[in-house]
Structure 1
């Protein structure tokens, strides 16, 4: 298991912005993992069109049947960057991309994640690191740790 800190995240978001050869008109964040990325990238790229889509498959670190909901209405003839924190099996990103492309055939989509597994069903257009173990992201760990410590004191 690996802890992924805010400092690492900030550095990786700077790296991702520099890697982008795509000027999106908006961002779709796969909730919840992509929300923090979308916020940072929205500021860095000066984008206010930030959308969310829910793709839920992991519950308590156990992968279950994928549920996709909250599908955003996007404007035709635009460029959209879909973001998530990790591509593990690839099922979530693959399904989200398929749904959005089917509904929006005139939109150009690209995908970006922080971590990607080499053996995933789909590879992102942009990623920063290969995922080789379970990642504990600061936004998942730190608030719960702080709340626990506060309750105990």
Structure 2
């Protein structure tokens, strides 16, 4: 598997390109923690959306894949109608699917769309509504996972 370093400067340029390619407007953003948190923060600032929330999911414990993805920390989306769910990558798609299923069950009258920077079309069970780059066998080393650790 090829490893690709994804730095902050590339992220900002890519996120701007992704944001500008999304034709819909939203009144809330839900970040899938942890990969979607930086995206949600910057998109909230860019689009002037104050309803920025975080939802958590766990699909692995260490390197062991869980039978079912756990979804928790479900935000109160009652005052919102059009919600964008963001994550860094749709790899297997299981996390996005679990989050979407959970939110749609809790809020059946809301409109949900998904956006990722990266999408693995040959692997993901979910096709995001919006994505910027398709990857195949790459492992993305995101700056938010590595940069602070590199300083120690």
Task: Tell me if both proteins adopt one fold, taking TM over 0.5 as the criterion.
Answer: yes
Distance 2:140 2:80 in 1: 36
Structure 1 counterpart of 2:15: 13
Aligned-residue CA RMSD (Å): 1.3
Distance 1:36 1:9 in 2: 10
Structure 1 counterpart of 2:132: 128
Structure 2 counterpart of 1:47: 49
Q: CA deviation at 1:77?
A: 6.0
Cα distance per residue 1:84-115 (max 9 Å; x no partner): 00111000001100110111111100000011
Structure 1 counterpart of 2:39: 37
Structure 2 counterpart of 1:151: none
Question: Unaligned 5+ residue runs, structure 2?
Answer: none
Question: Unaligned 5+ residue runs, structure 1?
Answer: 149-153
**Counterparts in 2 of 1:69 and 1:111: CA distance versus 1, 3 Å:** same
Distance 1:69 1:85 in 2: 19
Q: CA deviation at 1:131?
A: 2.4
Distance 2:70 2:120 in 1: 21
**Counterparts in 2 of 1:49 and 1:68: CA distance versus 1, 3 Å:** same
Structure 2 counterpart of 1:96: 99
What is the total number of aligned residue pairs between the two structures? 146
Paired residues of 1:76 and 1:106 also in contact (CA < 8 A): no
Distance 1:12 1:63 in 2: 31
Paired residues of 2:55 and 2:74 also in contact (CA < 8 A): yes
Distance 1:77 1:43 in 2: 17
Structure 2 counterpart of 1:106: 109
Paired residues of 2:28 and 2:80 also in contact (CA < 8 A): no
Q: CA deviation at 1:127?
A: 0.5
